[in-house]
Amino acid sequence: MRIHFEIREKLPEIIEEILNCERWTTLVKEDISGRKLVVIRDPNYNSEATVEIYAREITIKTAWSNYTYRLFVLGDNVWCEYNGAYRGLLEQNLLPTITPREGLLESEVLDSSLYGSEKRKLREYAEDNLKLKKFRRENFNEDRTGVAHFDHPKRVYDEFIKEDYVVPSSDE
């Protein structure tokens, strides 16, 4: 899935957090000609992300899943382009603060496994993704064949979320 959405943070704030965050260790691998290559590592897990920092763009690539977050300046605003699985959207431990400026559910999904390059709102994508997941569980018994209970993101939209607000399920 590939999606764009505007965020509240400014690039200098994000760079500062990447370089000086207490949640991870930071290693600057390269700092030449307007490009800084940084590796951030989670001290509690064996995970890391690679970050490329430029004057008007930051690219974060997660190591295990290869999800990519590209934060870039467009006019006076900062945007995020996420390219990865639906379940990984804003769910990574090694991410700086990324706050959607408006309701994320109204953002347009630009490319996806469900619709190809046909543009749909994230809300519709999320609902159809959940229907497909339920169909697989009911018809192919996928709960016992590797589909994890956490496979559907809690920050975006599923049966426990209404308008970007997380509501705990009754069985948790």
Cβ-based neighbours of 119, under 8 Å, separated by 6 or more: 108, 109, 110
Helix (H) or strand (E) holding 137: helix 122-140
Helix (H) or strand (E) holding 81: strand 77-83
Range of the domain at 64: 1-138
Residue 154 within a domain: no
Residue 165 within a domain: no
Residue 128 within a domain: yes
Structure tokens at 104: 């994320």
Residue 149 within a domain: no
- The predicted-structure confidence for 25-64, as pLDDT tens digits, reads as follows 999 999 999 999 999 999 888 899 999 999 999 999 998 8
Three state DSSP letters for 45-77? CCEEEEEEECCCEEEEEECCCCCEEEEEEECCE
The number of folded domains in the chain is 1
Instruction: Spell out the per-residue pLDDT of the chain, length 172, in tens.
Output: 899 999 999 999 999 999 999 999 999 999 999 999 999 999 888 899 999 999 999 999 998 888 999 999 999 999 999 999 887 888 888 899 998 888 888 888 898 877 788 888 888 888 887 787 777 777 776 554 444 555 545 444 443 334 444 334 445 4
